Structure 1
């Protein structure tokens, strides 16, 4: 295997792309400023869907493009924009996508980032509809308060490489442990970029958490992440710990239909489907804690929801987690604590359950959701209270670059 590339360098290692896109409009990402939006506005950069192309469509300003495209530079300088991340936390990598920008992509770019205090940000004018426009003097003056020229470089100036017209991705690895709230995308000197994906994990200020109020300990916005699954044919399990309610069936975890399902479906005496098959996903909690309430939502899964589910928890160190990933989560049964027994699920419905482990000593670091025999779930919420113990990566040791080993990418 090749060595992992240096931070900020163009890479073909794209394991981080299974993490959440922290800049996406779907999680609250927002364009605060761009120097120019003449052909296509910067808001397109953070669309959640993939870029598209309409061969014969034009606007009053020129060719319609699904991305951010500035006019050809005829004044000193270069173009840039600032994005407020919808999920604030640790950035693991970028995808600078120049799909369909075959003769007009930005030839070079760099990315900077900052961790800004929301209460101290200057007032920035609303952007409104931007096509055919350039930033005003008022907007330049307001954005100057962020001092973005001085932000940290996560990717230095780098040439972008076009590949296939409809799929032209440039991936960059990041190995910073700092929390980031904003990124600045610079293009040199002008041109177009279809999408900017900012992949990473959320990071919550647990010290400021109200100790009397339960919090979702598995939420991706706070740092929860899927670390293994059996099948993700239609949707990745990271979706189920996403932000807010699911927007459609595509915004959930859905498996393929199991090929070992019986030719004739039958129930047992309790009304549960007979059959030995199941699918599962393991999640590392954003913070070790005690789970008191479980929410499982099958919204939009009307003809393909699971028949039953169960939930188990365990305590693992970072080394133990790595060992389990390499073993495809073949974890001894005695390590798992039952949080929810086998329970029937209904289609297109939110279910709430009390956890079986309410004693304060029942701290867990990982949770395993098992569905039978297959199907889809839109959201999983594990509400509870963070524990003062922390068995994960020590804060005085740098975390390893995120990687997905055998078991994480199974059947993806």
Structure 2
């Protein structure tokens, strides 16, 4: 049994918010249980969009709120809910957002986590429409099988601080390298929370990978992450390595229009634009490996897709990556090797391309996607085979998943 939570404190380091929200409904997050959903259901906690406020809208139970809000508790205990993460992995931080819950926010929270095998989960009743309802004895009985008293506290009992009513975030740095599949959000004793963001990095059991089938080594669900970019005016590059098919133009990476575009555009003999600038994003692969297939999707980008793109790869140690982040990815040119030469792109279309490493068989740890001159993409898939030589090691620092020697080169 874990120790009882102690008072926590608000984190001041917000870099983890650039990672994936592993609890979001957009990546498959799901609410399994909540003690009470009287004013607003717990499913709103994991909505991918920002909370909103409708001043004059009411339900038969009270004021309509975009979040999870329980009734004013008049019995012993406190309220809590269980969320199954859509992406399982390490948790780097939380955002407990109480926007618009002025006068009704939960005074304190704590957060627990567990790593549960899906095939061993008890049968939990479907939640259905929950507004105005409380958990039934049957639901309490089913959820008790999860042995909640053994779950680890990642965030001890902590006071929530209201801020701007329309943007009231409480950020907490966690840095928990273990693999987690479920979180329990406790509120003390009752009240409302608009959104819960569980930021982290996915983890995959690479020993279970089929050695004959290529796997997306850049996928955010497996641990891929963007570690640098030139511009993300309309959407973060982490979106392009996201889960599943793109849902809209908002579910992609899009840059601002470059101001160094020539007044009159021209093309070369291959139909490629002659422009001086470009935009780029660097991704750390979920596992070192050989990239054999590249998928670049411009779906939904009909009038703002790039003219062309290219992809390069390299090997970086943990320390080299840290140095490059500090120097904004100004790398020696010999580090990068081409995976895909400059290739013309079409709007609103998925492009399936062979990697140059079909011949070179180079193992890489990082990939750089360059778009010319600017624009947006919805997905990037770097499919290939994880290297059996570059082995994973336990994380000594947040987000650093492996260590390789500089200049390492090998064939599978």
With structure 1 as the length reference, what TM-score do the two structures score? 0.94
Write the deviation string for residues 172-222 of structure 1: whole angstroms up to 9, x where unpaired. 101211000000000011000000000001000000111111000000000
Is the Cα–Cα contact under 8 Å of residues 177 and 398 in structure 2 kept in the other structure? no
In structure 1, the residue corresponding to 2:149 is in which secondary structure?
helix
2: CA distance, partners of 1:275 / 1:313: 23
Unaligned runs of 5+ residues in structure 1 are 1-6, 403-412
Unaligned runs of 5+ residues in structure 2 are 1-6, 401-412
2: CA distance, partners of 1:267 / 1:360: 31
Q: How big is the alpha-carbon RMSD for the aligned residues of Structure 1 and Structure 2?
A: 1.5
* 1:131 maps onto 2:131 in alignment: yes
Write the deviation string for residues 323-355 of structure 1: whole angstroms up to 9, x where unpaired. 111111111121111100000000000000000
Q: CA deviation at 1:80?
A: 0.2
State the match for 1:306 in structure 2.
Answer: 306
2: CA distance, partners of 1:200 / 1:302: 32
Q: CA deviation at 1:401?
A: 7.0
State the match for 1:408 in structure 2.
Answer: none
State the match for 1:398 in structure 2.
Answer: 396
Q: Which moved more, 1:354-363 or 1:340-349?
A: 354-363
Is the Cα–Cα contact under 8 Å of residues 71 and 191 in structure 2 kept in the other structure? yes
Is the Cα–Cα contact under 8 Å of residues 311 and 369 in structure 2 kept in the other structure? yes
2: CA distance, partners of 1:206 / 1:279: 32
2: CA distance, partners of 1:233 / 1:264: 24
1: CA distance, partners of 2:106 / 2:399: 28
1: CA distance, partners of 2:367 / 2:398: 22
State the match for 1:118 in structure 2.
Answer: 118
The 5-angstrom pairing of residues 146-157 of structure 1 reads 146-157=146-157
The verdict on how the C-alpha distance between 1:288 and 1:233 changes in structure 2, with shifts beyond 3 A counting, is same
Write the deviation string for residues 356-387 of structure 1: whole angstroms up to 9, x where unpaired. 01257410000000000000000000000000
Is the Cα–Cα contact under 8 Å of residues 8 and 173 in structure 1 kept in the other structure? no
* 1:254 maps onto 2:254 in alignment: yes
Is the Cα–Cα contact under 8 Å of residues 318 and 391 in structure 1 kept in the other structure? no
2: CA distance, partners of 1:186 / 1:118: 22
Q: CA deviation at 1:118?
A: 0.7
Q: CA deviation at 1:391?
A: 7.1
Q: CA deviation at 1:400?
A: 3.9
State the match for 2:63 in structure 1.
Answer: 63
2: CA distance, partners of 1:124 / 1:86: 17
In structure 1, the residue corresponding to 2:170 is in which secondary structure?
strand
| Paired residues, number | 395
* 1:370 maps onto 2:353 in alignment: no
The 5-angstrom pairing of residues 296-335 of structure 1 reads 296-335=296-335
